[in-house]
Amino acid sequence: MSTGAGYNRRELLRRAAGLTALAVTGGPLLAACAGGGGGTTGGATAVASSATNPLGVDGSAPLEVVIFKGGFGDDYAKAFEGLYAKTYSAAKITHTPTQDITGLLQPRFNGGSPPDVVDDSGAKQIKLDVLHKAGQLADLTALLDAPYLDDPSRKVRDVLQPGTVEHGSFDGKMYSLNYVYSVSGLWYSGKLFKEKGWTAPKTWAEFITLCGTIKAAGVAPFCHQGKYPYYINVAIMDLLARQGGREIITRVDQLDTTVWDGPEAKAAISAIYQLVDQDYLLPGTNGMTHTEAQTAWNQYKAAFVPCGSWLENEQLKLTPDDFEMTFLPMPSLPGDKLPPTSLRAGADEPFIVPAKAKNVAGGMEFLRMMLTKAGAGQFAQQANAVTVLKDGIGPEVKLRPGTKSAVAALGAAGTEVFNYDYPNTQSAFDIELGNASTELMANRIKPEEWLKRAKAAAEKAKKA
Amino acid sequence: MRHRRYPFIIGFLVVPVLLYAALVIWPYLQTFGYSLTDWNGQSQQMHFVGLDNYTKLAHDEVFLGALGHNLLLLAVLPVATVLLALFFAFMLNVGGRGGTARVQGVRGAGGYKVLFFLPQVLSVAILAVLWEAVYRPDGGGLFNGVLLKLGLESPGHPVEWLADPDLVLWCILGVLVWAGTGFYLVLFSAAMQSVPRDVYESALLDGAGRPQTFFRITLPLLWDTVQTAWVYLAIAAMDVFALVSTMTVGASYGGGPDHRSEIVATYLMRNFLFFGKAGYACAMGVVIFFFTLVLSVVALRVTRRERIEY
């Protein structure tokens, strides 16, 4: 995992945790961590809020920050801490970088003494739905309603990219600030396409026709990261969202089982199945890791790969200089309810403030400082990634071709961006859906069976 | 000074027993306790739900499938590993003939021993990476590369070893046998070397061939060691977490495609950390604990024989 070890792929890379959690006896051992320790609540600070201090931060209270040190490193967090220290010079700031969030924090959550800010990411992220159900996350509504630091006439909630609040919410309240903004779709090499005289398709029919041309030219039209069904699932579910509109996204998230009987789901899965049926997949792609598949794509062995906009950062070392990595929103199906420019854009890399932290107000203030041009600029420079702060990147930040094309697509999409909640709120359903997609891509089941399985998974998750 | 003996013994034992109680016994007891609750793993709040988790387990198809896979491994892994290790150990220690009447291994036995033992030195992480390269689903993989060169498969449809539901468990089993044989070979070799040479020599003089020597002398005299190996391998077959979670298809601890390589340990971890069903996961831990316990006892009882003194 050389770079961008994360964003939402962390769900899949979680398996890497297995390497360190080798012994199965980890079960009982982990359980042991939970014993003892009562539920002490923090809240040592009770400073009245004011115009300059809307969150009521006790400037002398210490602040403990735990950062997942992955592809982004942790220098950006030190920069944020610098911002905090500038305003609250009396506060003692503790900075803890780690790659093992679960190992470090599970005992502390259980013991009732969590830190004040956590970047809950990486292979060993503690699942947010689990934390939320356990009442461990502070409600961030106060942060959303606080003034934006760069322009106090606006509230923080007004300067966030669309979907940020929803994606960090449970039951209508925001509990996590997902700081990095990424888009999902297909990717191709501008150089390869120019060389061969291919043009990027707009509709699914054009896409399938082009796949035929590509195959005839001796290149595999499509590859995906088959070992982790997350990627192809994103493609399938994006087609479904386009076809059924926002209403169907809500229904999927709410585990409405009738979604899977409808024509929209059928259209989406049948479209994807064309790739399998017509043998357009890169040989072996169903068993490949993300690195293997994406590298084959970088080597011009396959024309398209589905991925999020972290792809460029992740493949930085393996991409030829003249590759011209280019983003393409999913091609559109006939009868789509959302426009062809619409795409999945999501906020990831969740930052949370634990409900039982000693300095909840300070934690929220820290998040507020991240949401400034100074903070977002720092992040873009350190991590080559865009944050959820609208217009947070000034002209001085130079973007790479892939990121540039993704940002352009985001601009074209305008407000027509969407995202699903179910991967965060319905983990079991998500996994079952992924299993079904693995079977479909290997041509072991047909679209009808996939729909049946999706419905069964939703029914099962609803009961649980 | 006889009465001084007990404080002396206790002085030696108290620390290890305390450590064992605190780090092994107590967590096990806690796991039993948690398995009766709906604990989600990230909080002190939980409710007592009685045997609910166990009733659910009995109807959980994925769990039952996983248990079935563990049992399949249990049936095959010890047999395959022990037989291979015994065969190799025999050949390396007494299998050679070389024209003389001396009891010796095949030529180059020392080199083979090093070679066979090598996998044991590698960490599981390296094993996983190594075998992922062997099983790679395109022409770049060792197996597929060879099959392609021999013209046994078409380049458009290589065998996706670890992504093939019918092959994946056997692929994992292959790695386990490959990695385990060396250790048991050395174990059996050591045991064989403690068998007096003259026993073999007299057998040779009586005209016993290799099979007779093996079944009449080597195996009976090694029975204790084989028994130990069996129990260890049985316990290993109930685990296999590291390989399955790293090598197989599927989000969070593998187990795919479609649960076809799912084992109790991967399903347990997914429930524990990913689904937030820690109580349920603890119930699985308890089930696997009893399985392993019963298996060990049964294995030791069933294979008990009279010890041969020499």
A230-267 residue pLDDT tens = 999 999 999 999 999 999 999 999 999 999 999 999 99
Rounded to the nearest 10 degrees, the angle between the axes of helix A26-34 and helix B26-34 is 80
Q: What is the pLDDT of residues A384-441, one digit of tens each?
A: 778 898 877 767 667 788 888 888 898 899 889 999 989 878 888 999 999 999 999 9
Interface list for B 75-134 with A (CB within 8 A): 124-125, 128, 132
CA dist., res. A25 & res. A269, Å (int): 41
- Three-state SS at B48: strand
- What is the Cα–Cα distance from B24 to B28, expressed in whole angstroms? 6
Residue A173 has pLDDT above 80, yes or no: yes
Residue of B42, B154, B269, B277 to mutate, testing the A interface (most A Cβ within 10 Å of its Cβ):
B42
The answer to whether residue A211 scores a pLDDT higher than 50 is yes
pLDDT band at A24 (very low <50, low <70, confident <90, very high): very low
Tell me the pLDDT band of B73, cut-offs 50, 70 and 90. Answer: very high
Nearest to A226 among B23, B43, B249 (CB): B249
Residues 158..187 of B with a Cβ closer than 8 Å to A: which? Answer: 158, 160-165
Size of chain B in residues? 310
Q: Is the pLDDT of residue A56 over 80?
A: yes
Determine what percent of chain A is predicted with pLDDT higher than 70.
89
pLDDT at A9: 43
pTM given for the model: 0.80
pLDDT 10s digits, A308-335: 988 888 888 899 999 999 999 999 999 9
> In this model, does residue A35 exceed pLDDT 70?
no
Do residue B274 and residue A35 have CB atoms under 8 angstroms apart?
A: no
| A38 has a pLDDT exceeding 50 | no
A178 burial level (CB within 10 Å; 0-12, 13-18, 19+): buried
Mean per-residue pLDDT, A127-151 = 91
Tens digit of each residue's pLDDT (9 = 90 or more) over B196-234: 888 888 887 888 777 888 888 888 888 889 988 988 898
For A50-81, the DSSP string reads -SS-TT---TTS-EEEEEE-BTTBSHHHHHHH
For residues B221 and B309, the answer to whether their CB atoms sit within 8 Å is no
Mean per-residue pLDDT, B89-106? 69
**For A286, nearest residue in chain B (alpha carbons):** B163
Q: How far is CA A193 from each of CA A281, A304, A324, rounded to the nearest angstrom?
A: 18, 11, 10
Q: CB of A364 within 8 A of CB of A140? A: yes
Nearest CA in chain A to B154: A283
Q: Can you list the positions of beta strands (E) in A85-149?
A: 93-98, 117-119, 147-148
Q: In this predicted structure, which of A149-153, A300-304, B304-308 has the lowest mean pLDDT?
A: B304-308
> Is A433 within 8 Å of A457 (Cβ atoms)?
yes
Please tell me the predicted confidence (pLDDT) of residue A6: 37
Res A32: pLDDT: 39
- The partner residues of B68 in beta bridges, in order of sequence, read none
- List A345's β-bridge partners, or say none: A183
Looking at residue B3, its pLDDT comes to: 64
What would the DSSP string read from start to end of B89-115? Answer: HHHHHT-B-TTSS--B--TTHHHHHHH
Q: Which of B144, B159, B235, B249 to mutate to test the interface with A (most CBs of A within 10 A)?
A: B249
Whether B257 has its CB under 8 Å from any CB of chain A: the answer is yes
Residues in chain A closer than 8 A to B269 (CB atoms): 18, 21, 26-27
Average confidence score pLDDT of chain B: 87
| A282/B124 CB distance under 8 A | no
* Average of per-residue pLDDT across B1-26: 84
Q: Are B128 and B137 in contact (CB under 8 A)?
A: no
- From B245, B256, B276, residue closest to A438, measured CB to CB: B256
- How does DSSP classify residue A40? -
**Which runs of consecutive H residues, i.e. helices, occur in chain B?**
5-20, 26-34, 52-59, 61-93, 109-121, 124-134, 142-149, 168-193, 197-205, 210-212, 219-221, 223-237, 241-247, 264-269, 278-302
Cβ within 8 Å of A, B 127-156: 128, 132, 135-139, 141, 144, 155-156
Q: Which two tokens stand for residue B121?
A: 């030195």
How confident is the model at residue A245, as a pLDDT? 95
B92 band by pLDDT with thresholds 50, 70 and 90:
confident
Cβ–Cβ under 8 Å, residues A351 and A176: yes
With cut-offs at 50, 70 and 90, classify the pLDDT of residue A42: very low
**pLDDT band with cut points at 50, 70 and 90 for residue B306:** low
β pairing state of A325-328 and A176-189: antiparallel
The burial class, CB within 10 Å (0-12 / 13-18 / 19+), for B80 is middle
Rounded to 5°, the CA angle A182-A187-A189 comes to 135
Q: Burial of B66 by CB count in 10 Å (0-12 exposed, 13-18 middle, 19+ buried)? A: buried
**Structure confidence at residue B212 (pLDDT):** 83
SS3 at position B39: coil
Do residues B251 and A232 make contact, with C-beta atoms less than 8 angstroms apart?
Answer: no
Q: How far apart are the C-alpha atoms of A282 and B130, rounded to whole Å?
A: 23
- Compute the distance between CA of residue A81 and CA of residue A79 in angstroms, rounded to an integer: 5
Chain B residues in contact with A126 by the CB 8 A cut-off are: 42, 273
Q: Give yes or no for a contact between A353 and A117, defined as CB atoms under 8 angstroms apart.
A: yes
Instruction: State pLDDT tens for residues B35-72.
Output: 999 888 877 788 899 899 999 999 999 999 999 999 99
* Predicted pLDDT of residue B97: 62
Question: What is the pLDDT, as a whole number, of residue B54?
Answer: 94
CA distance B25 to chain A (A): 10
What count of CB pairs under 8 Å joins A to B? 203
Q: Which pLDDT does position A74 carry in this prediction?
A: 85
- Decide if pLDDT at B308 tops 80: no
Lowest-confidence segment of A24-33, A362-371, A374-383 by average pLDDT: A24-33
pLDDT given for residue B6 in this prediction:
83
Q: Where does the pLDDT of residue A29 fall: very low under 50, low under 70, confident under 90, or very high at 90 and above?
A: very low
User: What is the structure's pLDDT at A46?
Assistant: 55
Q: For chain A, what is the mean pLDDT? A: 86
Structure tokens at A291: 């690195």
Q: Write down the pLDDT at residue A28.
A: 38
